[in-house]
Each structure stands twice: as structure tokens, then as C-alpha cells.
């Protein structure tokens, strides 16, 4: 019975540690562009839309921005210390068990704090600003996640705020 209880608590500790370390990789952050962008490729046989604004791409530039990060609150260190203490308590006897528990608490707290700091770290974003000179002489700018097949000098049509090659 004692071996089963020890095995069960050791398994629970390993699962808790695995759950905590699964959080180390930062989650992907998705940025939505300020202008809708739907790449639209017209078939070669189709005539261009009679409505819309026509122009030519004069510039494509990379726009980088960064979100601000937050300092660790200490919650990750507390959770990591608790999990590390439970896992450390499963090893050794007497004074060795106390040392393993202390080591587990310290190691878990450091790991938990690192996980929380990575989750709250600043994130860098990259998008593209496509500048279009319209046939009427005006300029329009579109912030898009990727320029796709659009290049400087391409003729484009702007329909309902969406840009596509003409």
C-alpha cells in the first residue's frame, strides 16, 4: 500500500511538473491589420471590375512594432515551488528527504518564475505598409500581414478597402 501511494504521488508530481514545463514556450501572438486585406487574383479571361479605384504600388515598407511586457507577479514562482516541493518530497528518507524537498522548492520556484517571465515578455510584430498612388493622384496606404505577390510598380485595384493586382 505504501509503495502504491508513493508511486501515485510521484506520478502526480511528474505530471504536474510536465504541465508546468509545457508552458515554457510562449504562445503565438496574432496581430490583425488595420486595413482589410484579401488577396484577390482575377482569372486571365475575366475583365476587371468596372467599379473600384485603380493605382500603382509605389512603396512597400516593413513596419515593426513591439508590445510592452509585464513583470512577473510571483504567481509562477509560488506554483513552481509548490509543485517542486511535492516532487522533491518523493525522494530520500529522513534528512535526505528534507534536502530533496528544499531543492525541489527552490528549483520549482526558479522554473515557475522563468515560465511566467517568458509568458509576459514583450512581443515583436512585423507587418507591411503598401503605398498606392491612385490614378486620380491621391495616395492610399494599406497595412497588411504579408504583401503576398504584390510588388512595387504593380497596377492594383482597390475594391471596398481591399487591394488586389489588376
pLDDT at 28 over 60: no
> Is pLDDT of 166 > 50?
yes
- Smallest Cα–Cα separation from 101: which of 115, 84, 116? 84
What 3-state DSSP class applies to 131? strand
H or E element that contains 109 = helix 95-119
pLDDT at 31 > cutoff 90: no
Map out the domains of the chain as residue ranges.
1-30+71-121, 41-68+122-166
Q: Would you list the DSSP string of 13-81?
A: HHHHHHHHHTT-SPPP-----SS--------TTSPPPSSSEEEEEEEEEEEEEEPPP----SHHHHHHH
Instruction: Kindly indicate whether the domain formed by 41-68+122-166 is annotated with CATH number 2.40.50.
Output: yes
**Residue 33: is its pLDDT beyond 50?**
no
pLDDT tier at 118, thresholds 50, 70, 90: confident
pLDDT digits (tens, 9 = 90+) for 53-96: 899 999 999 998 888 878 888 888 889 998 998 888 888 888 88
DSSP state of 91: S
Q: How far apart are CA 136 and CA 145, in angstroms?
A: 27
Q: Can you give the pLDDT at residue 132?
A: 94
Q: Does the structure show a pLDDT above 60 at 47?
A: no
Reply yes or no on whether the pLDDT at 140 is more than 60.
yes
The CA distance from 143 to 37, in Å, is: 8
pLDDT at 56: 95
Amino acid at each position: 500500500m505504501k509503495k502504491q501511494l508513493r508511486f501515485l504521488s510521484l506520478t502526480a508530481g511528474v505530471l504536474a511538473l510536465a504541465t508546468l514545463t509545457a508552458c515554457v514556450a510562449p504562445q503565438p501572438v496574432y496581430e490583425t491589420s488595420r486595413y482589410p486585406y484579401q488577396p484577390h487574383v482575377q482569372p486571365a479571361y475575366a475583365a476587371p471590375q468596372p467599379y473600384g479605384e485603380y493605382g500603382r504600388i509605389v512603396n512597400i515598407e516593413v513596419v515593426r512594432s513591439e508590445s510592452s511586457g509585464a513583470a512577473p507577479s510571483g504567481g509562477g514562482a509560488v506554483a513552481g515551488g509548490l509543485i517542486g516541493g511535492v516532487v522533491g518530497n518523493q525522494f530520500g528518507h529522513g534528512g535526505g528527504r528534507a534536502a530533496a524537498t528544499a531543492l525541489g522548492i527552490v528549483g520549482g520556484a526558479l522554473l515557475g518564475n522563468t515560465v511566467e517571465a517568458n509568458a509576459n515578455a514583450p512581443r515583436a510584430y512585423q507587418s507591411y505598409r503598401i503605398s498606392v498612388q491612385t490614378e486620380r493622384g491621391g495616395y492610399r496606404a494599406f497595412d497588411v500581414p504579408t504583401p503576398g505577390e504584390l510588388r512595387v510598380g504593380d497596377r492594383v485595384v482597390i475594391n471596398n478597402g481591399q487591394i488586389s493586382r489588376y
